[in-house]
Structure 1
Amino acid sequence: MEFDAVVVAGGGSTRLGGVDKALVVLDGVTFLDRVLRAVGHATHTVVVGPVRETYREVQWTQEDPPGSGPVAGLAAGLASGSAPNVVVLSCDLPWVTAQDITRLVDSIDTHDGSGLRDSDGRDQWLAAAYKRSSLAKAFTKLGDPHNKSVRRLVADLDLVWSDPSRSGDDVDTWADLDG
């Protein structure tokens, strides 16, 4: 199934001491490149955040103003591409794989989207595939996306979730790498 990818990579990484999460290296590969490999089959890939070196070419964009939150970043990223489905990932998901992405996109079916749950069973809205039309409606309902929560954006969407897995684990602190 055809999909575009939006990778949100503009956060401040304050819980990592200000280290750029996108450039943290795990097993010789940056978090950002690991996520970009997972969405390697996307029709179009846009990364929202400051331009960095990556293993493949992608489009870059930034929310305006920079630092106005992941929903504003997602809105900026959705302005690119036209596939009916959009995979949305934060750059701090180093264990997500191409197989996970295929399962997410394939399981949207009659729902608005499909997402990963982390190892603790928490829904990861920034590790999900959505129907572009459903996200567009959610943004219309939300209004101004600046400094709004992703949870609020997707609150009325019909989403299905994976079983808990490491693939949905994000890295917010150094301890999260130890899993």
Structure 2
Amino acid sequence: MVLAGGAARRMGGRDKPAVPVGGQPMRDRVLTAVAAADTRVVVGPAGPTPAGVRSTREDPPGGGPVAALAAGLALLDPATTVVAVLAADLPLLTRHAVDDLLHHLEAPSAVAARRDGHGSEVSANRHARGGPPEAPKPVDGACYVDAAGRRQSLCGVWRVPALRAALDRLAAERDGNLAGASLRALLAGLAVVEVRWLGDGPPPWFDCDTDNDVRRAEEWLR
């Protein structure tokens, strides 16, 4: 699922996902990184997409990433259990980086963290707190973190049932209105593996919010 509905105010409001990097629109570069997916969905304004890619729009248009996520989930096949949720402005994302996230999601892990709506870690497994180790439990998602430990939530993979439950919870808290809701509030309480990029090359979560970011990404790709 590629979220492409941002306003791009720092780039003059133009169609940022269509801005080329390395000769290809950023949105298409992200879609290429998940070419092996059973279903690919773009959420954002209408525009050209590669063959076979489903498209939709958040309700209301411009309603933010949580509203976009809800719209995208509605287009997934009912049997889908795992989804990559990706910003459309990640031109350095690769299939290898996505595979790394999937590995962390599926592998037994003792480092899953839960954060509250303010970003503070509120619980971890007993072994991490010094008690007896617990049996590994499935985690709800895996996403990259930058060098400062900030989660890059729009560069992650997530279990669909956990996302649906989180959306239901947040909608109930907001009287059914998801417009303007924050991703931090949506993901609060989910068990997430925070993955640091250890591969060669630039970080896959690097997003292009300005023209300078685009130029920097172009330099990395040379």
TM-score using structure 2 length: 0.74
Check whether the contact 1:119–1:166 (CA below 8 A) recurs between aligned residues. no
Q: Deviations over 1:101-125 (max 9, x none)?
A: 1111221132100012245542111
Report 1:56-75 matches (<5 A).
56-75=51-70
Aligned to 2:191: 158
Q: CA RMSD in A?
A: 1.5
User: Once the two structures are superposed, what CA deviation does each residue of 1:120-172 show, in whole Å capped at 9, x if it has no partner?
Assistant: 54211111100001101111110132110111100111111221461011111
Match of 1:127 among 152, 155, 158: 155
Percent identity of paired positions between Structure 1 and Structure 2: 40
Residues matched between the structures, number? 174
Higher normalized strand content (fraction of residues)? 1
Q: Which moved more, 1:39-48 or 1:118-127?
A: 118-127
- The corresponding residue for 2:27 is 32
CA distance in 2 between counterparts of 1:145 and 1:100 reads 30
Q: What SS is found at the alignment partner of 1:60?
A: strand
Partners of 1:69 and 1:34 lie apart in 2 by 22
* Mapped partners of 1:106, 1:98: distance in 2: 12
Asked if 1:167 is matched to 2:164, the reply is no
Return the alpha-carbon distance in structure 1 between the equivalents of residues 146 and 11 of structure 2.
19
Which AA in structure 2 matches 1:130?
A: W
Pick from 19, 23, 26: which aligns with 2:18?
23
Using the alignment, how far apart are the partners of 2:20 and 2:145 within structure 1? 23
Cα pair 1:119 1:169 within 8 Å, conserved:
no
Larger radius of gyration, structure 1 or 2? 2
TM-score of the two chains, using structure 1 as the length reference: 0.91
